[in-house]
Structure formats: structure tokens, C-alpha cells
Amino acid sequence: MSDSGRAPRPRTNNPERTRRDILEVALREFATNGLSGARIDELAAQTRTSKRMIYYYFGSKEGLYLAVLEEAYRRIRADEGTLDLQHLPPLDALAALVRFTFDYENANADFIRVVMVENIHHGRHIKQSETIRQLNSTAINVLRDICERGVRSGVVRADVDPVDLHMSISALCFFNVSNRHTFGTIFGRDMAAPEELARRREVVVETILRWAAPGGALRDRC
């Protein structure tokens, strides 16, 4: 029995499974307690390995934290890559991407929280990761393709910058998780309620489409 009162999980000789298990538990730990508050002893107690092996796999607590960030971004981009956006009309593709982002972030609140932790650290660890830059360049390429197709068909403004578009989508979807408790308490809304999520998701979709579309294009689509 560990000091935390939880029995450690059975150990395994499968290194990849052990690594995945560590990353899964570490994501929750860093999202809950931040980088400074997370404890390697606590992580070891919850996983199939030891403190020594965590250091063997990741080198240090900061090395583990960076690996968690990389894995978090890898997951959202991998799931995003399963969307069949190329075969959808541009505005339909954009709407599908916004809905995916909104749903993913609401279903993976620890992803939002660990990104918030990294912002507290001024992006110091992300700066060290070429992996994260490459992963997120694919998100911009997806939006660039949608915009270029939309401009050619006259349904997206020619001056839409894919990075600005990505920022706007991220901001609107991110807020529903990052500010859920404060905003919900102040204004008396349960922002995690299914009906509230469904309503808010469509508000975000419409906001993005109206911003991206030239005058009249969205009205013609509706």
C-alpha cells in the first residue's frame, strides 16, 4: 500500500505500456497540481512502475512534463486527422472542425488545464519541443486548405489568415472549459450540462462561419 492509501497497480515488463500508463497518470497529476505541485512519488504510486523507472524513461520531472505536453497535442491532432474534411464543402468542413474541437476539448478537460499550466510558465517547455511545433503546423495546414477552397468557391473571405482562424476557434472552444466554473457561477449557468454544451457549440460554429464568410455567403448557405 502506498503512502497515499492506494495500492500500486501491478507492474509489467511491457515498456511501451508502462510509458503510456505513466503519461496518462501524469497528465491528470500535472493538470490538477501544476508542474511545481506534481510529485513523482505520487505518480509512481499510481502506475505500474517505480520512481526510478520514471526517471529512466523521462530523465526528470520536467522531462516527464514535456512528454505529457507532446502526448496531449499528439492525441488531439491524431483525432483531428480522422476527420474527412477534404471531401466536404469548405464551410461544412469548417463547421465540422469547429464542432470536433469544441467536443474534444470538453471531453478532455485535462488537456485544457495542462495547456493553462504551460501558459503560467510562459511556454518555456513548449519552446524546447520541435515535436509540438510540427504537430500544430498540421492544424494550420488543414485550415489553410479549407480557406483556399473556400476562397475559390466564393464562400470564405480572401483575407482570412489560417493562424487567426485557428486562434479564434481555439479561444471560443477553450473558454467553455477554462472558465466553466467562474462564468457558470457568476451567470447561473451549468456550462457542462448536455443541453448547454449543445447550444453553446452551435453558437461557436455560427460565430466562426460568420466571421470567415464574405457578406451574404453564409445567408445563401443557410
One-character DSSP codes across 29-54: HHHHHHHHH--HHHHHHHSSS-HHHH
Q: What is the pLDDT of residues 81-126, one digit of tens each?
A: 999 999 999 999 999 999 999 999 999 999 999 999 999 999 999 9
**CB neighbours (10 Å) of residue 27?**
22
Share of the chain above pLDDT 70, in %: 91
Q: What is the pLDDT of residues 4-58, one digit of tens each?
A: 455 554 445 688 888 999 999 999 999 999 999 999 998 999 887 889 999 999 9
* Domains of the chain: residue spans and CATH: 6-59 (1.10.10.60), 68-217 (1.10.357.10)
- Show contacts of 159-164: CB within 8 Å, 24+ apart: 160/212
